[in-house]
Structure 1
């Protein structure tokens, strides 16, 4: 099984670090809050997703592997 990405959008502060770090997996909605573009990213995005979870100041990204 691959990676599964979830976010707690209610706790997002809109810093945007996830979008900068993993733009193929994360985006921001019109209000600036995180949106997951791909809940099951491939191995090519795995390192970027882990980094995005690490740099998120609100710690709203959960990565299950």
Structure 2
């Protein structure tokens, strides 16, 4: 691993513009649907559910 990559560390990946059949933005070389698609969709569902079912008293 190069020194630059070590210093920069992991950078945030923008999944917003990727469609299912594009290459995954994480850089793995796989199709998005076979790589990170499920993780991204689960995070979106979690955000929606937390807004819908949050405790109104909390």
Same fold flag (TM > 0.5):
no
TM-score using structure 2 length: 0.25
TM-score using structure 1 length: 0.23
Whose RCO is larger (CA < 8 A, sep 6+)?
1
